[in-house]
Amino acid sequence: MKKRLIGLNYRGKKISLEVYRVPKLLRAIGLMFSRREKAKALIFEFGKPVRIPIHSWFVFFPFIAIWTDSENKIVDSKVIHPFTFYVLPSERFTNLIEIPINTRYNFFEIPSIKRKI
Q: Name the percent of the chain lying above pLDDT 90.
A: 55
pLDDT tier at 111, thresholds 50, 70, 90? very low
Contact at 8 Å (CB) between 99 and 111? Answer: no
CA proximity to 24, closest of 50, 47, 4? 47
- Domains of the chain, each with CATH number or no CATH: 2-114 (2.60.120.1140)
Contact at 8 Å (CB) between 101 and 68? Answer: no
Average pLDDT on 15-22 reads 88
pTM here is 0.84
CA proximity to 91, closest of 109, 112, 74, 72? 74
